[in-house]
Each structure stands twice: as structure tokens, then as C-alpha cells.
């Protein structure tokens, strides 16, 4: 234990004040300092990984920026904890391959996904036409439909393309709770800004259905479209079913597919990916159509995710959550 009297005058006064604050907060002084230190480290890392590095895309030509991103993605410090957890789960399931290359590609996917937030705020549709290769179309944009995707690749430019193609789409989003962002001010502001950018890209407000399905049903009754990222762990939804994914049984959401069958809504699956060799984006639009059987629809939806992960395993953002799928 450090004696206050043994410290220089200025430091002893500071230490005494800190101890008084710590006592008021019912924290031991050492724990108090650790808590502050941990928060500062989190905030500094979030500032670097969510703002400063991906934000370079807003000020640099994309060709230069992509070259810089490829170099940075080889550095072990970037997204260290998140990519480490992802690699461990991918390795356990046989989808890691060359681990050094896997990690670099995973860092690059994450960095570009964040960079697309800044690009979407600062670039026009001319950038989309120049750097995004599109295969397929959004179907009839004058009727109610479901547009589904996955936590794979980088999806911001798909939203811009949907609006430019005449779609009247509302994105379903998870509710934000302050407890999720305790001590993470930068992260919270980033998520809020990203959510606002989704609404800006689609020119429609986002939808939170955690309290009621009524907002979603009103949108469908108005012959507008619902967009959702459907690969969420089964423990986050009220209804799920098993499917084959990567050669194993996974439990996936069933609520939206059931709604599509009940209301005879056409279903489209889109994949918005990144060519990690040249930095171009690609958008694949797969029109599954109208189904009469929920199980068949769910299976066909997740066949698209299965193929996408096999094509580029590091591009799936939910590897770290794999145990919640493969129970």
C-alpha cells in the first residue's frame, strides 16, 4: 500500500481526492483507477477503430485508401479481441484455413464495413455506379415484400442501391439500450450515427418492433418493403427452427419467414460483399419468390448464407456468436 505522505505534495493531494471519490462510489482506490483506465483504453480504441482509421475513406481517393487499408489489416493490433474470438470459432468448425491470411481478411472486412458508413455520408450515387457491381434487381417495388440479408460483407451500399432503384424500404433495427454502452461513449455515438445513416440511405425511418409488430404491419399494408438482417441467434427471437449451416445444425429465426408465408409476401435475399483483392463491392439480388411452407422458405434463405460463408468465411461478422447458433 502506498503511503500518502510518501508522495510529492501535488500527488498526495490528488491521491487523497481520488480516494475520497472512490470511497463515495464504494470502490477501492485501486479498482477505481483500473475502472477509469479501462474506460479510457476502450474509448481510445473505439476512436481509432471506428472513427479515425475508417474515416480516412471520407478524405482519400478510394484506390489509395484501399491500399492503405490492406496494409493496416496486416497489423495485429487492429480489432484484436474481436478477430481473435472470431478466428477461434472458425478454427473449431474447420473454416479458418491459413490463419494469418484469415485474420488479415477479417480485419479488412471489418475496416471496410466501418469505412462504408463514412463513404455513404460523403459520396454520391456516382461512387456507387463506379465501385459496386450489381447482379439482379429488387423486383416489384410497388408492393409489400421482405428483403433479407445477413451479417456478411458490408451492406451500406445495398441500401443506397435499393432507394435508387425505386424501393420504398424500412430497415428493422434492434433496440438500443444504454446498458449496452456503459463506458463506451464513442461506440454509442457511432451506432447512433450509423443507424441515422441507414434511414438517410433508404429515405425511410428505421423500425423497432421490440414492443409491437404494428409498425411493421402498417408498412406492409401501405405496400412498402421491410428489410432485415435475419441471421441473429435464436435466443434473441421468440421462434426459431433448425437448418443445415456449414455442415452442422444451426437454430435460426422463423418469425419473418412465417409472416411472409401467412401474407404471401415475395421474399428477396441480397448479399453485399467485398472483393478483398481490389476493394470493389458487389451486390447480388436473389428473388426467392412467394412460399406456402415456412420450413422450406427458412431453409432456402439460409442456403444463401451457407454459400456466402463458404465463399468468404472471414466476411461473416457473427463468428464470435457461433455457439449461440450451433447449439
- pLDDT at position 48 is 97
Separation of alpha carbons 268 and 199, rounded Å: 20
Using DSSP bridges, classify how beta strands 267-274 and 145-149 pair: parallel, antiparallel or unpaired: parallel
In this predicted structure, the answer to whether residue 30 has a pLDDT above a threshold of 90 is no
Cell of 79: 480489432
Percentage, residues of the chain above pLDDT 90: 79
Among 303, 274, 287, which Cα is nearest to 165's?
287
Query: 77: exposed, middle or buried (C-beta count within 10 Å: 0-12, 13-18, 19+)?
Result: exposed
User: What percent of the chain has pLDDT above 70?
Assistant: 90
> How many Cβ atoms from other residues are within 10 Å of residue 247's Cβ?
10
Identify the pLDDT of residue 37: 78
Residue 177 CA to residue 200 CA, distance in Å, equals 22
Residue 23 or 232, more confident: 232
Compute the average pLDDT of residues 306-320: 97
Q: Is 226 helix (H, G, I), strand (E, B) or coil?
A: strand
Please give the average per-residue pLDDT across 233-242, as a whole number.
88
Residue 32 in this model has a pLDDT that exceeds 70: no
Reported as a single tens digit per residue, the pLDDT across 51-69 is: 999 999 999 999 999 999 9
- What is 12-38 written as a DSSP string? HHHHHHHHHHHHHTT--HHHHHHHHHH
Q: Mean pLDDT over residues 165-188, rounded?
A: 88
Measured between alpha carbons, how far is 48 from 19 in angstroms, rounded to an integer? 31
Question: Which residues face 146 on adjacent strands?
Answer: 226, 267
DSSP readout, 134-203?
EES----TTS-EEEEE-SBS--HHHHHHHHHTT--EEEB-PPP-GGGGTT-HHHHHHHHHHHHHHHHHHT
CB 267 within 8 A of CB 288: yes
pLDDT tens per residue, range 248-278: 999 999 999 999 999 999 999 999 999 999 9
Q: Count of alpha carbons within 13 Å of 133, Cβ hemisphere only?
A: 8
> Among candidates 132, 121, 118, 125, which has minimal Cα distance to 56?
118
What average pLDDT does range 32-44 have in this prediction? Answer: 76
Q: Which residue has the higher pLDDT, 295 or 209?
A: 295
Comparing C-alpha atoms, which of 228, 211, 240, 86 is closest to residue 170? 228
Segments making up each domain of the chain, as ranges: 8-40, 132-325
pLDDT at position 7 is 37
- Name the percent of the chain in helix, strand, coil, to the closest 5: 55, 15, 30
Examine the pLDDT at 21 and tell me if it is beyond 70.
no
Single pTM value for the model = 0.87
Output the CA–CA distances (angstroms, integers) from residue 152 to 288, 306, 307, in the order listed. Answer: 19, 11, 11
Q: How confident is the model at residue 270, as a pLDDT? A: 98
Residue 29: the pLDDT is 52
pLDDT at 90 over 90: yes
pLDDT at 20 over 50: no
Amino acid at each position: 500500500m502506498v503511503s500518502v505522505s510518501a508522495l510529492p505534495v501535488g500527488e498526495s493531494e490528488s491521491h487523497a481526492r481520488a480516494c475520497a471519490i472512490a470511497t463515495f462510489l464504494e470502490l477501492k482506490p485501486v479498482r477505481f483507477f483500473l475502472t477509469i483506465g479501462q474506460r479510457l483504453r476502450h474509448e481510445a480504441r473505439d476512436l481509432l477503430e471506428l472513427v479515425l482509421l475508417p474515416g480516412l475513406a471520407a478524405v482519400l481517393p478510394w484506390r489509395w485508401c484501399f491500399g492503405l487499408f490492406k496494409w493496416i489489416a496486416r497489423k495485429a493490433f487492429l480489432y484484436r479481441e474481436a478477430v481473435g474470438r472470431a478466428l477461434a470459432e472458425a478454427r473449431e468448425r474447420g473454416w479458418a484455413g491459413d490463419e494469418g491470411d484469415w485474420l488479415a481478411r477479417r480485419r479488412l472486412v471489418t475496416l471496410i464495413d466501418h469505412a462504408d458508413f463514412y463513404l455513404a455520408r460523403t459520396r454520391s450515387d456516382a461512387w456507387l455506379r463506379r465501385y459496386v457491381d450489381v447482379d439482379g434487381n429488387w423486383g416489384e417495388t410497388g408492393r409489400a415484400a421482405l428483403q433479407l440479408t445477413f451479417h456478411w460483407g458490408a451492406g451500406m451500399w445495398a441500401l443506397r442501391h435499393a432507394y435508387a432503384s425505386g424501393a420504398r424500404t424500412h430497415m428493422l433495427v434492434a433496440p438500443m439500450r444504454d446498458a449496452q454502452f456503459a463506458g463506451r461513449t464513442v461506440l454509442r455515438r457511432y451506432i447512433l450515427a450509423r443507424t441515422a445513416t441507414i434511414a438517410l440511405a433508404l429515405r425511410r425511418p428505421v423500425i423497432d418492433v421490440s414492443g409491437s409488430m404494428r409498425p411493421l404491419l402498417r408498412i406492409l399494408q401501405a405496400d412498402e418493403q421491410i428489410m432485415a438482417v435475419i441471421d441473429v441467434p435464436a435466443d434473441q427471437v421468440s421462434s426459431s427452427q433448425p437448418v443445415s449451416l456449414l455442415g452442422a445444425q444451426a437454430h435460426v429465426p422463423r418469425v419473418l419467414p412465417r409472416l411472409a408465408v401467412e401474407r404471401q409476401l415475395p421474399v428477396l435475399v441480397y448479399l453485399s460483399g467485398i472483393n478483398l483483392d481490389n476493394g470493389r463491392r458487389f451486390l447480388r439480388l436473389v428473388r426467392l419468390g412467394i412460399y406456402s411452407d415456412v420450413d422450406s422458405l427458412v431453409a432456402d434463405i439460409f442456403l444463401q448464407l451457407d454459400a456466402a460463408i463458404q465463399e468468404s468465411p472471414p466476411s461473416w461478422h457473427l463468428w464470435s456468436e457461433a455457439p449461440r447458433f450451433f447449439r
